[in-house]
Structure 1
Amino acid sequence: MRIVGGTLRGLTLAEVGAGDTAAHLRPTTDRVREALFNLLAHRPGGDPVAGARVLDLFAGTGALGLEALSRGAAQVTFVDDGATARALIRENIDKARAHGTTRLYRRDATALGPNRGAAFDLLFLDPPYGTGLGEAAVASALEGGWLAPGALVAWEDSQPPVLPAGLTPEDERRYGDTRLTFARVADA
């Protein structure tokens, strides 16, 4: 697994070992991640990554957030409650030398609570496929004020998600077993 574009292009990221099935991590493939960022870069209205404050829920290895940093995001906050995932994210932040532009929270993405900082412009969401956890996490992020009005949500799952109130669907693409759904947070 590697960063596929931007200033960190080619950086090899740490990932879960083949025998570590207890970690329940399923990193976004390089192919899907590259397609996702190409779609973002060519969106009507411009690339939403450049200068963005990014929230990466169910962050896993941190690959999506680090890819965003590589492509010009201003700051990334990773959220994962798994010990293996947090260790991998820390290792990958070290590899990317991204300490000043990242934060890592040990939290349940479905119960974020109130946001005490600035809201985020872009949300990456890669929950365990087919569990409904993505819907709960987005609802929690909206309720807690984590997402700015007009923020873009990039959601990876195996099936089209049920979008919570407050999100407007914009696009959907399929890559094998993976569906990428893009939605926008309603303006205030």
Structure 2
Amino acid sequence: MSRIISGAAGGTPLVSVPGSLTRPTTDRVKEALFSRLEAFDVIAGARVLDLYAGSGSLGVESASRGASAVDLVEFDAKASEVCQRNADLVNTPARRKVVAVHRSKVESFLDRTADGVLWDLVFLDPPYPLDEPALGAVLAKLTPHLAAGAVVVVERSSRTPEPAWPEGMERFAEKKYGETRLWFAEPAPDEAPEAGLEDGE
């Protein structure tokens, strides 16, 4: 059973999506990922976007570790319901509503996002059938919504080629964990907005 690994809700079991609708990030990969992100100092106070959220595990983990706001985007009805149940684990009265769940296709959500809405940390764990041109199109829609210093994490099969990074985004690291590969990207230096959202805004 997957769990929230650390932070205010550390150790709390997460609800899983029934059947094989999603491909959850293993606790081993999640722990290594968040160790790296904390080394980058991009979680505390961050505005986080979890696309193709599945159970919402990565976004909820971010909230537990001090993110100021988290958006979970998942189109499947059952998975979206699980996202909400997991969001409720950290949206307690004592910790206010940090995590918002959006039942939407990723492309539609990004198309509807207002100009000036910026995220500091973005997770993308798209389903394997999503081909590389479609992923590249999503990354292109995302690029204008990255704050200065933002980190984008793309999780794919280790057999999948490197994503085609759009203009304005560039890869700065990658890491392989068994059958999983994580790609880390950031706004290109001359494309990042000069002023992102302040912590908690």
Common fold, TM-score beyond 0.5?
yes
Find out whether 1:109 has 2:109 as its counterpart: no
1:168 corresponds to: 170
Deviation of 1:172 after TM superposition, in Å, equals: 0.2
Query: 1:7-27 CA distances to partner (integer Å, 9 max, x unpaired)?
Result: 21111000023xx23xx2111
Q: Which moved more, 1:156-165 or 1:66-75?
A: 156-165
RMSD: 1.7
C-alpha separation between the residues in 2 aligned to 1:107 and 1:34? 28
Runs of at least 5 residues in structure 2 that lack an aligned partner in the other structure:
194-201
Matches within 5 A, 1:57-136: 57-97=51-91, 100-111=97-108, 112-116=110-114, 118-129=117-128, 131-132=130-131, 133-136=134-137
Partner of 2:151: 152
Normalised to the residue count of structure 2, the TM-score between the two structures is 0.82
**What is the deviation of 1:130?**
5.7
8 A contact 1:126–1:134 mirrored in 2 = no
Identity %: 42
SS at match of 1:113: helix
Q: Is the 8 A contact 2:151 2:184 kept in 1?
A: yes
Please list the CA deviations of residues 117-147 of structure 1 after superposition, one character each: whole Å capped at 9, or x if unmatched.
63111101111136234323222222xx432
Tell me if the contact between 2:9 and 2:89 (Cα under 8 Å) persists in the aligned partners. no
Report the count of equivalent residues: 179
SS in 2 for 1:110: helix
Q: Which amino acid aligns with 1:100?
A: K
Alignment of 1:39-50 (within 5 A): 39-43=36-40, 47-50=41-44
Q: Distance in 2 between matches of 1:63 and 1:134?
A: 21
CA–CA separation in structure 1 for the residues paired with 2:112 and 2:100: 16
Match of 2:28 in 1: 31
Q: In structure 1, what is the Cα distance between the partners aligned to 2:177 and 2:88?
A: 30
Q: Please report how far the alpha carbon of residue 174 of structure 1 lies from its aligned counterpart in structure 2 after TM superposition.
A: 0.2
Consecutive unaligned residues in structure 1, runs of 5 or more: none
Q: Distance in 2 between matches of 1:89 and 1:147?
A: 23
Q: Do the aligned partners of 1:3 and 1:12 also contact (CA within 8 Å) in 2?
A: yes
The Cα shift of 1:72 comes to 1.0
Compare 166-175 and 156-165 and name the one that shifted more: 156-165
What is the CA distance between 1:166 and its match in structure 2?
1.1
The C-alpha deviation readout for 1:148-177, integer Å capped at 9, x for no partner, is 233210111113222122111110000011
Moved more, 86-95 or 97-106: 97-106
